[in-house]
Amino acid sequence: MATPGVPLEVQKGLQIMLLPVKVLKLVYGHSETAVYSVKTKSWKIINVEFPPKMLWCFSLSVFLRGFIHWLAYTDQGWKRTILLFDVCNEVLGEAQLPEMDKCYDSNPSSISVVKGSLCLLVEELRDDEGICHVWTMNEYGVSESWTKQLRVVHGKISMSSLKLSWWQNRIL
């Protein structure tokens, strides 16, 4: 569980068009965020508006198209969402998750970049088995472009032990 005043994660992101490298520090429970510029060798305090329902981030972050992305919990029944930070404009935002089967407990467990697209591993919990779905956002920023690429039934094996590999544009 996150503690107010303790940094959740420090993430660096290289901006597009060879802009300076920045380090972002988000602090749970505060709207104040710090951005460190390698070019100026200094921290700059910025006030960002967290989406009002955001509780905290729980995943490692990924950088794509000038944005840092995390999976985060909301205060609406601990639902998950994608929190993003626009590195160039220093603004927080939110991206939509794919439409998932509401019949089962389906939760994104990790976010990554695969072949230049956002990729989610989504675990579906059932009584007798676990299922992992792989989703990619084929057109960046368009929530309707989320596409399920793969469904893996992994029984009672922990999803954390599942690893995906890509070779010649195919999932191995």
Please state, in angstroms and rounded to a whole number, the distance separating the CA atoms of residues 121 and 21: 28
Show the tokens assigned to 131.
Answer: 């299922």
pTM greater than 0.75: no
Q: Which domain holds residue 68?
A: 50-171
Contact 98, 111 (CB under 8 A): no
Q: Is residue 43 assigned to a domain?
A: no
> How far is CA 126 from its chain centroid?
24
CB neighbourhood size of 159 (10 A): 17
Q: Is residue 119 assigned to a domain?
A: yes
Q: Is residue 17 assigned to a domain?
A: no
Q: Is residue 22 assigned to a domain?
A: no
Q: Is residue 152 assigned to a domain?
A: yes
Q: Is residue 143 assigned to a domain?
A: yes
Q: 160 falls in which pLDDT band (50, 70, 90)?
A: low
pLDDT digits (tens, 9 = 90+) for 99-137: 876 655 667 788 889 889 999 888 877 767 778 888 999
Average pLDDT of the chain, as a whole number: 73
Q: Is residue 102 assigned to a domain?
A: yes
Q: Is residue 138 assigned to a domain?
A: yes
Query: How many domains are there within the chain?
Result: 1
Please give the full DSSP string across 66-101, using - where no structure is assigned. TEEEEEEEETTTT-EEEEEEETTTTEEEEEPPPP--
